[in-house]
Amino acid sequence: MLKGKNAIITGGVRGIGRAIGETFAKQGANVFLCYKSNDEAALAAKSELEQYGTNVEIMKADVQDYQQVGLVVEAAIKAFGKIDILVNNAGITKDKLLMRMTPEDFSEVIDVNLVGSFNFIRHIAPHMIKQKQGRIINISSIAGVKGNPGQANYSASKAGINGLTLSVAKEIGRRGITVNAIAPGYIETDMTGILTEEYKGKLLDAISLGRFGTPEDVAKVAAFLASDDAAYITGQIIGVDGGMMI
């Protein structure tokens, strides 16, 4: 479905980002993975994904840093000639109840999740506008739609991503670029691995399908949104939550 397409995926060496990279590579896309710190995991991801026969590049960068993001986009264009797909997946949590949350806790999560997504969109948009086509997929969260106690910072960052998605979709739709967000519910990764069994039990009760999501559940939707089949879908916040919202 993605044969010959070139994609940048942020936070692409573990969890949901890693699954998106694998699904894209399996479908024939070349992938450029941006990661924050784990060189070993990045090299392992590169060699594993290369087995699917496409080009896989890795580059260390902090999504919060506008200049570094510019260098990633430049390097990806140089490596592949053009970029068709951007997946803004990198994200962090710093969960605390409001009364314990410091201004630093709040701004760090906003800087990585929301400003990081803006940084990539801002650098890739001129390139996609020039080629008159592109797909931007932002990984949001159910928390950005309905909020969550202990996640004022995270929910605000994800609600911000939803607004960013809608505005940019309106601005650059006529240039042949679609901009969508995926709002996962509870997906089993390192990010959610830190939650207590008691809390996980409560979450499970709220999921209509009766199971937690997998990174692959999210990756398959990202691959569809990145494909030519999703050409007429833009400005959508697509829930992948097993019915947690209903």
Binding footprint of ligand NAD on the chain (CB under 6 A): 10-11, 13-17, 35-36, 62-64, 89-92, 112, 139, 141, 184, 186-187, 189-192
- As beta bridge partners, residue 180 has 137
CB of 174 to ligand NAD, least distance (A): 28
- Return the number of the residue (62 or 105) whose C-beta is nearest ligand NAD: 62
CB of 81 to ligand NAD, least distance (A): 24
CB of 72 to ligand NAD, least distance (A): 10
Known catalytic membership, residue 154: yes
DSSP code string of the chain? --TT-EEEEETTTSHHHHHHHHHHHHTT-EEEEEESS-HHHHHHHHHHHHTTTS-EEEEE--TT-HHHHHHHHHHHHHHHS---EEEE-------B-GGG--HHHHHHHIIIIIIHHHHHHHHHHHHHHHHT-EEEEEE--THHHH--TTBHHHHHHHHHHHHHHHHHHHHHGGGTEEEEEEEE-SB-SHHHHTS-HHHHHHHHHT-TTSS-B-HHHHHHHHHHHHSGGGTT--S-EEEESTTTT-
CB of 132 to ligand NAD, least distance (A): 28
Catalytic residue among 154, 186, 199, 232: 154
- Return the number of the residue (129 or 207) whose C-beta is nearest ligand NAD: 207
- Return the number of the residue (99 or 246) whose C-beta is nearest ligand NAD: 246
- Return the number of the residue (58 or 112) whose C-beta is nearest ligand NAD: 112
Active site amino acids: 154
